Amino acid sequence: MRNHDRIKALCTLSPSIILIGIFVYGFIGNTFWISLTDWGGVASLAENPVKNFTGFGNYTELFAGFLGGSFRQDLVNAVYYSVSLLAGAIGIGLFLAVLLDNKPVGEAFFRTVFLYPMSLSFIVTGTIWRWMLSPQGGVNILPTYVGLDPLQFRWLSSTEAVMEFDWQNLLQIALYILAAVLIIWGLWQVKQQPRRAMSRLLVPGVVLGGGAWLGGDILPKALFMEEMHGFNLATLGIIMATVWQYSGYTMALYLAGFTGISQDLRDAAMLDGASSASYYRHIALPMVKPITISAVIILSHISLKMFDLIFAMTGPDNGSTGHPALNMYLTTFRANEFSRGAAIAIILFLIAATFIIPYLISSYRQRRIR
Amino acid sequence: MKKFITLCCACAAMLMLLTAPVASAKELSGKLEIFSWWAGDEGPALQALIDQYKAANPKVEVVNATVTGGSGVNAKAVLKTRMLGGEPPDSFQVHAGQELIGTWVKADRMEDLTFLFKEQGWEKVFPAGLVKQIGTDKGIWSVPVNIHRSNVVWYVPENLKKWGIAAPASWDEFFAAAEVLKAKGIVPLALAENWTINHLWESVALSAIGVENWEALWSGKLAFDSQAGVKAWQLFGKVLEYTNKDAASLSWQQATDMVVDGRAAFNIMGDWAAGYMTTTKKLVPGKDFGWAASPGTGGKFMFLADSFGLPKGAPNRDNVIAWLTLLGSREGSDAFNPLKGSISARTDSDLTKYNVYGQSAAADFSKDLIVGSLAHGVSANEGFMNDFASVMEMFLKSRDAMAAAKAAQQIAVKNGIGK
């Protein structure tokens, strides 16, 4: 009987398994193969283009080559962009959800208002925000309504950058970040397990940070020349537009989570003397942790795949708001460098995988425990 | 179901019967798919051509496949995926020069059109310099439909008089005038988003290094990081100091508007700006707006041209030949160009159909030194153009002429310029 069921299951599933196998995994594999070749340049559009195997040449060129500068800038941009989008959309979404969870007058109305931007396409959002952020209009002339001088900030075309670092010192910076993570984690754990936190997190963190600081000069350089990258202020405009579009969505996620918590629990907490703030801090938020995780995963994916919004807001060749996805499109379909474009695609795919694979593993484990 | 299959078979048989004699008959039928990025403002010009074609070949169904997006950003990507997928359109728009040669001819995707040029006597009516850009030693690969000029500076004569300056003939004259303008709070040179910066670069570079060096640059005989190359970047850096700071957020039309509104004195843009000002802004050429060759490029005509070719494996070859014949004809050319705001590629066009600007451009085209544009795909292949955009980004950030020149040389080597 059981075997019978299995065969049935296999029969019904096999069409989608085969289709996904070919059109998702097969094509990922094909893209990876192309990224290892030298398909590009002259005659790349021939009927049977010449593809020679070159190993990881495209990847080293992107990360350490002279002409990969724009890709590196885009990658740094994408990191700052993802982090800002996560902080902004989750922070604002959570705030709105808490407000609406307390059932103010017109809750349903506000819910719709906040969720509405979600329903627009990125091209529409991008065009609206490009107009609003134009240098001589929109947001910049808001202060004039209260008698102040108009703002001069160029939201989408500023060339200033903050938090700059030299790509040469990439390794050193990676070590600093690792050290910082260890130390913060250690401080977090120090109350519960003082010894373990000390020996496993705090001490290695301090040693690592100190080592990177003292031995920075010995570390191998990631690039043969100085190359400064940083958080370009022009990205602010794009971050604003994306946060505007997605904070309503995170709000809806959290609101669904909060509504799922039984009222009895809240009443009990209130009876025990919990304030509103501590109810959310200690009871509601830990209970909606799965929602936070899925919001992080969905948003980080969106930010890594972002294309249309940036294309609509600043167009193709705007280095200070660049994004690897845009770079991939231009490298592939404008410069005809198909193998280089495939390499960028694979890098993006791997970054996305670093977000999703730990999530998949943990959820799979949880299911098995149950 | 059975009925349906029989019906299909019958239809297929009918089609075969219908299409077989067509090849020999004179009257064309079937379809003709024209792939271009001429939508919006340029749509009516293309429509005029299609109308002529339909009048001559009433049985052909013309499919006007346009993909919007300035200078074909999106259209080219769509075209490439179609060609790679083995589904070429009947005829597609392509910039004359390396965008045609470097991308499609070297990939062996085009049919040689030398026979058509001979049959129609086009070798005599198209200027030799232009035919050189659409041909190789193996053949001629497309039919040019129009000529645009890239190195033009636009201004409003009345405003210049008011500010007490004249249209500059050299960059030194421009810098002198720019100081006067700056003191009055007027932007000397209006600039717009990224590609217009490349557009400005080619005009500045041409004036800095001259025609001979410009040609040597693209034939690989002169290095980009040679003294002349660096000089071009230095001059360009100085010119940029007199442009508006919000350039990257403006479209080219908005930059032209700055000149029309008197917020800026000059704008260097291709002569589609004349079409925009006469058609959209309803200004009178020569009176409401004036033009000159951009500073230091008098007597030089930096051109770009649109052309149509015949890809190998085009489904309706005979229909395409008829289409290309129309494009190259005097009637077709003179129907299209006055509406598009460009001039005819033919040397015998009927100038009375063009406005004052068109007439002056046509006169210059027949007597000036002709050079190819970089920003619009004539001089360099697409790989170089794409990489040049990142070199430009680098220069805008660092303003380091030496580094930019070196980087430009690197990308020239990488993309096989002059090979």
d(CA A29, CA A24): 9
A333 contacts B249? CB cut-off 8 A: no
Q: What is the pLDDT of residue B21?
A: 42
The sign one gets for the Cα dihedral B216, B229, B154, B273 is positive
For chain B, give the number of residues: 419
Kindly state the average pLDDT of the residues A96-119. Answer: 90
Q: What is the pLDDT of residue B11?
A: 54
Q: At what angle do helices A235-260 and A107-115 cross, to 10 degrees?
A: 140
Whether residue B66 contacts residue B43, with contact meaning beta carbons closer than 8 Å, is answered with: yes
Residue A78's nearest CA partner among A239, A312, A243 is: A239
At residue B22, does pLDDT exceed 70? no
Residue B346's nearest CA partner among B150, B152, B117 is: B117
CATH topology of domain B31-148+304-369: D-Maltodextrin-Binding Protein; domain 2 (3.40.190)
Confidence label for B173 from pLDDT (cuts 50, 70 and 90): very high
Q: What 3-state class would DSSP assign to B33? A: strand
Q: What is the pLDDT of residue A147?
A: 86
Asked if B66 has any chain A CB less than 8 Å from its own CB, the reply is no
Kindly state the average pLDDT of the residues B347-357. Answer: 89
Q: What is the pLDDT of residue A329?
A: 92
DSSP-derived letter for residue B303 is E
Token pair belonging to B301? 């005509």
Minimal C-alpha gap between B307 and chain A (Å): 19
> How many CB atoms are located within 10 Å of the residue B105 CB?
22
At residue B362, does pLDDT exceed 70? yes
Higher pLDDT residue, B326 or B5? B326
Kindly state the average pLDDT of the residues B285-292. Answer: 93
* Mutation target among B71, B76, B249, B410 for the A interface, most CBs of A within 10 A: B249
Q: What is the pLDDT of residue B117?
A: 94
Residue A167's nearest CA partner among A219, A222, A216, A212 is: A222
d(CA A197, CA A189): 6
B195 contacts A336? CB cut-off 8 A: no
Confidence label for A369 from pLDDT (cuts 50, 70 and 90): low
User: Between A43, A317, A336, which is nearest B382 by CB?
Assistant: A336
Kindly state the average pLDDT of the residues B52-58. Answer: 93
**Does the domain at residues B155-303+371-414 carry the CATH identifier 3.40.190.10?**
yes
Asked if B102 has any chain A CB less than 8 Å from its own CB, the reply is yes
Whether residue B79 contacts residue B95, with contact meaning beta carbons closer than 8 Å, is answered with: no
Q: Give me the percent of chain A exceeding a pLDDT of 90.
A: 40
User: Between B76, B84, B393, which is nearest A70 by CB?
Assistant: B393
d(CA B361, CA B303): 11
User: Between B83, B392, B396, which is nearest A159 by CB?
Assistant: B396
B247 contacts A45? CB cut-off 8 A: no
Kindly state the average pLDDT of the residues B71-79. Answer: 86
- Note the pLDDT tens digit of each residue in A9-41: 999 999 999 999 999 999 999 999 999 999 988
SS3 of chain A: the string is: CHHHHHHHHHHHHHHHHHHHHHHHHHHHHHHHHHHCECCCCCCCCCCCCCCCECCCHHHHHHHHCHHHHHHHHHHHHHHHHHHHHHHHHHHHHHHHHHHHHCCCCCHHHHHHHHHHHHHCCHHHHHHHHHHHCCCCCHHHHHHHHHCCCCCCCCCCCCCCEEEEEEHHHHHHHHHHHHHHHHHHHHHHHCCCCHHHHHHHHHHHHHHHHHHHHHCCCCCCCCCCCCCEEEEECCHHHHHHHHHHHHHHHHHHHHHHHHHHCCHHHHHHHHHCCCCHHHHHHHHHHHHCHHHHHHHHHHHHHHHHHCCHHHHHHHCCCCHHHCCHHHHHHHHHHCCCCHHHHHHHHHHHHHHHHHHHHHHHHHHHHHHHHC
Same fold, B31-148+304-369 and B155-303+371-414: yes
Q: What is the pLDDT of residue B9?
A: 53
Q: What is the pLDDT of residue A315?
A: 80
Helix (H) or strand (E) segment spanning residue B376: none
- Note the pLDDT tens digit of each residue in A148-185: 888 888 888 887 888 888 888 888 888 888 888 888 88
d(CA A198, CA A192): 11
Whether residue B77 contacts residue A333, with contact meaning beta carbons closer than 8 Å, is answered with: yes
The residue type found at A101 is D
Q: What 3-state class would DSSP assign to B309? A: strand
Whether residue B311 contacts residue B89, with contact meaning beta carbons closer than 8 Å, is answered with: yes
Write down the pTM of the prediction.
0.85
Query: What residues of chain B lie within 8 A of the CB of A66, using their CB?
Result: 407, 410
Please tell me which of A145-154, A223-232, A334-343, B66-75 the model is most confident about, judged by mean pLDDT. Answer: A334-343
Q: What is the pLDDT of residue B309?
A: 93
Q: Which of A221-225, A238-242, A282-286, B236-240 has the lowest mean pLDDT?
A: A221-225
d(CA B273, CA B253): 8
Query: What residues of chain A lie within 8 A of the CB of B109, using their CB?
Result: 45-47
At residue B20, does pLDDT exceed 50? no
Q: What 3-state class would DSSP assign to B292? A: strand
* Mutation target among A333, A340, A344 for the B interface, most CBs of B within 10 A: A333
Helix (H) or strand (E) segment spanning residue B95: strand B91-95
B194 contacts A316? CB cut-off 8 A: yes
Query: What residues of chain A lie within 8 A of the CB of B80, using their CB?
Result: 45, 333, 336
Whether residue A252 contacts residue A115, with contact meaning beta carbons closer than 8 Å, is answered with: yes
Asked if B109 has any chain A CB less than 8 Å from its own CB, the reply is yes
- Note the pLDDT tens digit of each residue in B365-390: 988 998 999 999 899 999 999 899 88
Q: What is the pLDDT of residue B210?
A: 93
Whether residue A254 contacts residue A91, with contact meaning beta carbons closer than 8 Å, is answered with: no
Residues 6+ apart with CB under 8 A from B19: B30
Q: What is the pLDDT of residue A75?
A: 92
Query: What residues of chain A lie within 8 A of the CB of B84, using their CB?
Result: 45
d(CA B215, CA B222): 9
Mean pLDDT over each residue of chain A, to the nearest integer: 88
- Note the pLDDT tens digit of each residue in A288-311: 988 998 899 889 989 998 999 999
Residue B239's nearest CA partner among B271, B209, B208, B274 is: B208
Token pair belonging to B125? 């009516």
The residue type found at B4 is F
B386 contacts A157? CB cut-off 8 A: no
At residue B92, does pLDDT exceed 80? yes
Domains assigned to chain A: 70-160+233-369 (1.10.3720.10)
Q: What is the pLDDT of residue B24?
A: 42
Confidence label for B25 from pLDDT (cuts 50, 70 and 90): very low
Tell me the domain boundaries of chain B. 31-148+304-369, 155-303+371-414
- Note the pLDDT tens digit of each residue in A33-86: 999 999 988 778 888 888 899 999 999 989 888 778 889 989 999 999 999 999
Helix (H) or strand (E) segment spanning residue B331: helix B330-340
Q: Which of A198-212, B258-272, B377-391 has the lowest mean pLDDT?
A: A198-212
Q: Which residues pair with B32 in a beta bridge?
A: B62
B80 contacts A333? CB cut-off 8 A: yes
Q: What is the pLDDT of residue A189?
A: 80
Token pair belonging to B393? 């980004």
A47 contacts B249? CB cut-off 8 A: no
DSSP-derived letter for residue B289 is B
Kindly state the average pLDDT of the residues A114-143. Answer: 89
